[in-house]
Chains A and B, each alone.
Chain A
Amino acid sequence: MPSETILLLGVNHKNTPLEVREKLALSGGYEDPLEALGRVDGLREYYLLSTCNRVEVLVSASAGAEVERALAGFLFGDALTPEQYEKYLYCYRNEEAIHHLFMVAASLDSMIVGESQILGQLKEAYRWSSKLKCTGPILNKLLHKSFSVAKRVRSETQIGSSAVSISYAAIELARKIFGSLENKRVLLIGAGEMAELAAEHLVGNGAKDVVVANRTLENALDLAKRFNGRAVGLDELLEQLEQVDIIVSSTGAPGVILHKEDVKPLMRNRRNKPLFFIDIAVPRDLDPALNDLDNVYLYDIDDLNNVVELNKAERDKEAIKASRIVDEEALKFKDWLAGLAITPTLAALREKGDLIVRAELERTLPRLDGLSARDRENVERMAGAIVSKLLHDPMLFLKSESCKDQSDMKVDIFRSVFGLEKKQ
Chain B
Amino acid sequence: MLSEINYLLFNSVVVVSFVASAVYLVFFFSQREDLRTIARTIFIGSGVLQSFYILSRYIIAGHTPITSQHEAVVFFAWSVTWAYLSFHWRYSVRNFGTFVSILVFIMLLIAAMVSREFHPLAPALQSLWLPVHAGVAVMAYGFLALAFCGAIMYLLQERELKSKKFGFFFSRLPSLDSLDQLNNHCLTAGFGLLTLGIITGSIWARQAWGTYWHWDPKETWSLITWFLYAAQIHQRFTLGWRGKRAAVMSIVGFIAVIFTLWGVNYLLGGVHSYAQ
Residues of chain A having any CB pair with chain B under 8 Å: 173, 175-179, 268, 270-274, 291, 294-295, 297, 299, 303, 306-307, 310
Contacts of A271 in B (CB 8 A): 239-240
Q: Is B245 an interface residue (CB 8 A)?
A: yes
Option from B161, B240, B242, B244 in Cβ contact (under 8 Å) with A177: B161
Contact (Cβ within 8 A) B245 A294? yes
Contact (Cβ within 8 A) B164 A303? yes
- Distance in angstroms between the alpha carbons of A268 and B244 in the assembled complex: 15
For chain B residues 152-177, which have a beta carbon within 8 Å of chain A?
A: 157, 161-162, 164, 166, 170, 174-177
Contacts of A270 in B (CB 8 A): 240
Contact (Cβ within 8 A) A307 B166? yes
Option from A176, A273, A299, A303 in Cβ contact (under 8 Å) with B240: A273
Contacts of B164 in A (CB 8 A): 299, 303, 306
Option from B157, B161, B174, B243 in Cβ contact (under 8 Å) with A272: B243
- Distance in angstroms between the alpha carbons of A270 and B240 in the assembled complex: 8
Q: Is B241 an interface residue (CB 8 A)?
A: yes
Contacts of B175 in A (CB 8 A): 175-179
Can you spell out 12 A-B residue pairs with CB atoms less than 8 angstroms apart?
Answer: A175-B175, A176-B157, A176-B170, A178-B175, A178-B176, A178-B177, A179-B176, A272-B239, A274-B177, A274-B243, A294-B243, A295-B242
Contacts of B242 in A (CB 8 A): 272-273, 295
Nearest residue in B to A307 (C-beta to C-beta)? Answer: B166
Contact (Cβ within 8 A) B166 A306? yes
For chain B residues 166-217, which have a beta carbon within 8 Å of chain A?
A: 166, 170, 174-178
- How far apart are A57's CB and chain B's nearest CB, in angstroms? 41
Across chains A and B, the number of contacting residue pairs, with CB separation under 8 Å, is: 49
Contact (Cβ within 8 A) A272 B241? yes
Contact (Cβ within 8 A) B178 A291? no
- How far apart are A77's CB and chain B's nearest CB, in angstroms? 44
Contact (Cβ within 8 A) B166 A294? no
Contacts of A272 in B (CB 8 A): 239-243
For chain B residues 94-137, which have a beta carbon within 8 Å of chain A?
A: none
Contact (Cβ within 8 A) A295 B244? yes
- How far apart are B175's CB and chain A's nearest CB, in angstroms? 4
Contact (Cβ within 8 A) B161 A173? yes
Nearest residue in B to A295 (C-beta to C-beta)? Answer: B243
- How far apart are B100's CB and chain A's nearest CB, in angstroms? 20
Nearest residue in A to B177 (C-beta to C-beta)? Answer: A179
Contact (Cβ within 8 A) A297 B243? no
Nearest residue in A to B235 (C-beta to C-beta)? Answer: A272
Nearest residue in B to A302 (C-beta to C-beta)? Answer: B164
Contact (Cβ within 8 A) A291 B162? yes
Contacts of B166 in A (CB 8 A): 306-307, 310
A179, A303, A310 pick with most chain B CB within 10 angstroms? A179
- How far apart are A161's CB and chain B's nearest CB, in angstroms? 15
- Distance in angstroms between the alpha carbons of A272 and B184 in the assembled complex: 14
Contacts of B245 in A (CB 8 A): 294
- Distance in angstroms between the alpha carbons of A297 and B163 in the assembled complex: 10
- Distance in angstroms between the alpha carbons of A268 and B240 in the assembled complex: 8
10 more A-B residue pairs beyond the given contacts A270-B240, A271-B239, with a C-beta to C-beta distance below 8 A: A176-B157, A176-B176, A177-B176, A272-B240, A272-B243, A274-B176, A291-B162, A303-B164, A306-B164, A310-B170
Contacts of B170 in A (CB 8 A): 176, 310
The 8 closest A-B pairs by CB, nearest first: A271-B240, A179-B177, A179-B175, A272-B240, A295-B243, A303-B164, A310-B166, A179-B178
* Known A-B contacts A175-B175, A176-B157; A297 and B162 likewise in contact (beta carbons under 8 Å): yes
* Known A-B contacts A176-B170, A179-B177, A291-B162; A268 and B239 likewise in contact (beta carbons under 8 Å): yes
- Distance in angstroms between the alpha carbons of A268 and B241 in the assembled complex: 9
Contacts of A297 in B (CB 8 A): 161-162
- Distance in angstroms between the alpha carbons of A294 and B162 in the assembled complex: 10
- How far apart are A169's CB and chain B's nearest CB, in angstroms? 10
- How far apart are B178's CB and chain A's nearest CB, in angstroms? 5
- How far apart are B132's CB and chain A's nearest CB, in angstroms? 38
Contacts of A306 in B (CB 8 A): 164, 166
Contacts of A268 in B (CB 8 A): 239
